[in-house]
Structures are given as structure tokens and as C-alpha cells.
Amino acid sequence: MDGFGYLGPYALEWFNMLVRWLHIITGIAWIGASFYFVWLDNTIRPPAPGSELARKGVAGELWAVHGGGFYNPQKYLVAPAELPRELHWFKWEAYSTWISGFALLVIVYYLNAQAMMVDRSVADLTSWQAVGIGLASLVIGWIVYDLLCRSPLGKHDLAFGLTIFAFLVLSSYVLTHLLSGRAAYLHVGAMIGTMMVANVAMLIIPGQRKMINAMLAGDKPDPIHGIKAKQRSVHNNYFTLPVLFIMISNHYAMTYRHEYSWAVLGVIMAAGVLIRHFFNLRHKGRVEWKYPVAGVALLAILAFAIAPKAPVQVKAQAEGGATEDDAARFAQVRTIIDQRCVSCHAQHPTQPGFATAPGGVMLHTPELVSQNAQRIYQQTVQMKAMPLANLTNMTDAERAQVGAWFEAGAKTGQP
Ligand code: HEC
């Protein structure tokens, strides 16, 4: 972005906005289509034996009404006798989601690795090391997952599911011990997203191609391609809820900043899978409330477990108006904020890579500090989410000073 001069960070902000917009649109198209086909698969019913449909090779069908018309999808297993003239494929939804997601990873994280990926209280990495770890996680994730699918374990759904879950929790553990919490979370999500898209690109689509080539050559298509594709598509289905949480996790410092953030992520992913399982069974006509109840219970237990501790009560200040003490205390706090926060949180941030005040939070005047006292306290004392990745090296003593000031009423010393 150097070629843009002082407008570089601003230009990057625009790329960020447009690519994120695109990523959400393509992601909705992909996951929406995928949910729809899983629903179809779970909802179709076999035609009456000996009926004309059964003779044509239809394995299941259903009727639906939508947008003022009636639809009658039919599923052929393994394939219809003749290849239809026009056949629709579903792949660009997945590919464009990955491409835009990867671009976003580069724009948000890799081009600003010191601020967004490195947390020196976790590991003192260079930007290149952090980016290398991020990229490696995507590749290693796919290799491990693909090998597991091809191993004998791949035939046992539950055992496979538990193994891949354990692998993802282990990955969160390793990544949260190398990168900042938000980058670690996001890379677990990118790992899963990469597995999902690679399933489409390397297994599902090539398998479908082989089936069609066999039919064009006048042979019977081998059902193994369909079976393998189905396995990957079921995995993708269970991955969706965890991945979607991770993509919004950056808004919730209470998760990724927690001391055991890797375990927090594990619990949330498990809840997502349980809830997804409920819907998959329900489409098949089985309503098993124990799954969503277990999922919600996990989230409730987690909410209690990670709740912030009650603030330590500081000796109450003398009642009444402002004192000289208050003024002195506020002056100290302002010095801390000036040193540790204002490089990012100002009208014109001086921190490289920041065009505008992040989150719209500005702290460069006494009035702004006073107005934002609650949020400052929450972010720096309760959650320790700020300064971002502690880039400006705020000390624990300084956090304690800010805490004491807020707990004593966040006074400014002005009458
Ligand atoms: C390196 C840049 C940087 C520094 C330094 C920094 N912040 Fe932030 N801050 C951010 C970013 C980026 C966000 C947006 C976070 C997000 O999107 O979740 C943010 C968000 C915030 C928010 C809004 C959070 C919310 O979710 O409502 C507050 C409050 C905040 N910072 C306070 C502070 C305070 C106080 C300091 C100093 C102790 C500080 N920040 C230092 C980058 C920084």
C-alpha cells in the first residue's frame, strides 16, 4: 500500500470493506446452497416400489412450495440413465468464499502482522514468522484431515468426528500459544474453511466429473465416487456452525482473550456441532431435543465459567466534590492513555496501518477519556483486550492505576 502514500491505510480500509462484503455474500450463497441440499437429502422419501419413478432410478423425491411455485426435486442414485443436456454445478460459491476469505486474511492480518497477529506476551515473533505459522496451519490442517478421512477411521462417523474435533482443539491450543488470541481463533476458522473448500475442489467435484466421464463413455458410473463425496459433504455440514462462530469471534474479546481461550473455543465448537446435529436429525423426522439442550447447556456453563471476577473494592474516596487528588489521579490516567492508546484511538491515528480510530473509539482529549471511562475500564482492566495485542506495552501497574481510578468513580478532578 506504499504506492498510495498517506492514503495507503485508507485505501486498505476500502479493500477491507469491499472484500469483507464479498466474502459474506459468497459465504451466504455457499452455506445456503449447502444447507438446502443437506435438507433435500434428509427430507426426500423413496417412491413407491414398482412405480414409474422407481423404474427410472429415482431414489427419493419431495414436493415443496416456494415463491409462488411448486417444486418436485428428485434424487437419482447413482445417476439417471441418460446425462441431461443441461446440468448445474455448485462449486463457485465455495471457491469464491475461500478466495475472498484468503484475501481478507492477507488484508487484515498478514499486511499488519505485528499489530494483528503478534502478541509479545504470548510469543515474540517477527511478522514473517507469524505469517508463516498462519499459512502452515492451513496446509497442515488439510493434510491431517484428508489423511484421517482416507484412513480406516474415516468409515466410523462418530470416532472420526471425535478425532477431528480433538485435532481442532489441539490446533487451537498450539495457535493460541503462538499468535494473538484473535489471530489464533481466526486461523482455526480458516483451517476448517480450507478443509471444506478443498473437499469441494479435490474430492466432490472431481468425483462428479469421473461419474460423468464414465457415463459419456457409455459405462456405469462407479458409486464409490458418490459415497466419498457424500462423506465429505456431511463433514462440511457439521463444520459450518463452528466456522461461522469463529468468523464473528473477533468481536468478542471475552472468548479469545481468556486465559484458556483454546478450551473456550472447543466448547463453543462442540455446542455448534450438537445444534447442527439436531437439525440434521429433524429433517429426517427424528426430533431429539437432548442435542440442542446439551449444546445450550455447554454455552451456559461456559458463560458462568468465564464470567469476569467482581472488581476489587478500592477504599472509597472522600465524599463530595472533586479534590486535588482526583485531578492528580486523572492526570496520571491521561498520561497512560496518551502513551498506550492514542496512537490508534485518535482522530488521526499515528499507528501504521490504522486510517481511522478503530471501533470509532477516540481517546485524545480529557472529555473523551472521561466519556469512555466504562469502556476503557472494561477493555484494559476486565478483559485485558486493549491495547490491541499489547502493542504499546501497557504494564500491569498501569492497568491497576486505570482500575483504581474507575472504581473510585472515574473522577476528572473538574468541579
Ligand atoms: C494498535 C492499535 C490499538 C491500540 C494501541 C489500542 N487499541 Fe483499542 N482498539 C483497536 C482495534 C483494532 C479495535 C477494534 C476491535 C474490534 O474490532 O473488535 C479497538 C477497540 C477498542 C474499544 C472498543 C471495544 C468494543 O468492542 O467496544 C475500546 C474501548 C478500546 N479499543 C480501548 C482502548 C484503550 C483504552 C487502549 C489503551 C489502553 C487501546 N484501546 C489501545 C486498536 C488499538
Q: Quick one: average pLDDT of 79-103?
A: 92
The mean pLDDT value of the chain amounts to: 90
Give nearest CA residue, ligand 1 atom 18. 251
Lowest mean pLDDT segment, chosen from 143-152, 264-273, 357-366? 357-366
Residue 360 CA to ligand 1 center (angstroms) comes to 9
Q: Is the CB of 205 under 6 A from ligand 1?
A: no
pLDDT in tens, 1-28: 556 777 777 888 899 999 999 999 999 9
Q: Ligand 1: distance of its center to the CA of 362 in Å?
A: 9
Q: Is 413 left (phi over 0), alpha (psi -120 to 50) or beta?
A: left
More confident residue, 196 or 230: 196
Which atom of ligand 1 approaches the CA of 389 most closely?
1
Span 360-366, average pLDDT: 91
The three cell numbers locating residue 251: 468481536
Q: Which of 120, 247, 341 is the pocket-test mutation for ligand 1 (most atoms within 8 Å of CB)?
A: 341
Q: Compute the average pLDDT of residues 132-148.
A: 97
Q: How confident is the model at residue 347 (pLDDT cuts 50, 70, 90)?
A: confident
Least confident residue range of 21-30, 230-239, 315-324: 315-324
Which residue CA neighbors atom 29 of ligand 1 most closely? 375
As a whole number of angstroms, the distance between CA 340 and CA 338 comes to: 6
Centroid of ligand 1 to alpha carbon of 152 (angstroms): 48
pLDDT digits (tens, 9 = 90+) for 263-284: 999 999 999 999 999 998 998 8
119, 381, 386: residue to mutate for ligand 1 pocket, most atoms within 8 A of CB: 386
Whether residue 72 has pLDDT greater than 60: yes
Segment 26-34 shows an average pLDDT of 95
pLDDT at 314 over 80: no
Measured in Å, residue 224 CA sits from the centre of ligand 1 at 52
CB atoms within 10 A of CB 143: 11
| First-residue to last-residue Cα distance in the chain | 47
Question: Which residue has the least CA distance to atom 33 on ligand 1?
Answer: 386
The answer to whether the CB of 373 is under 6 A from ligand 1 is: no
User: Is any atom of ligand 1 closer than 6 Å to the C-beta of 181?
Assistant: no
Give per-residue pLDDT as tens, 191-223: 999 999 999 999 999 998 998 898 888 888 888
pLDDT score for 319 = 52
Residue 318 vs residue 56, higher pLDDT: 56
* C-beta of 250 in contact with ligand 1 (< 6 A): yes
State the distance from the centre of ligand 1 to the C-alpha of 11, rounded, in angstroms: 21
pLDDT of 311: 63
Which residue's CA is the closest to the ligand 1 atom numbered 32?
376
User: How confident is the model over 96-108, as a mean pLDDT?
Assistant: 96
Instruction: Give the confidence band of 320 by pLDDT, cuts at 50, 70, 90.
Output: low
* CB distance 394 to ligand 1 below 6 Å: yes
Give the closest residue to 130 by CA, choosing from 120, 140, 139: 120
pLDDT score, position 220: 84
8 A C-beta contact, residue 265 and residue 185: yes
Give the pLDDT confidence score for residue 318 in this predicted structure. 47
Cβ neighbors of 382 (< 8 A, separation 6 or more) are 308, 311
Ligand 1 centroid to 7 CA: how many Å? 22
Q: Are 381 and 323 in contact (CB under 8 A)?
A: no
Nearest residue (CA) to ligand 1, atom 23 = 359
How far does the centroid of ligand 1 lie from the alpha carbon of residue 288, in Å? Answer: 43
- For residue 324, report the distance from its CA to the centre of ligand 1, in Å: 30
Write the residue with the smallest CA distance to atom 26 of ligand 1.
Answer: 251
Q: What is the pLDDT of residue 376?
A: 94
Q: What is the per-residue pLDDT for 312?
A: 58
Q: d(Cα 151, Cα 153) in Å, to the nearest integer?
A: 5
What would the mean pLDDT of 281-299 be, rounded to a whole number?
93
How confident is residue 61, by pLDDT bands cut at 50, 70 and 90? Answer: very high
Output the CA 268–ligand 1 centroid distance in Å.
24
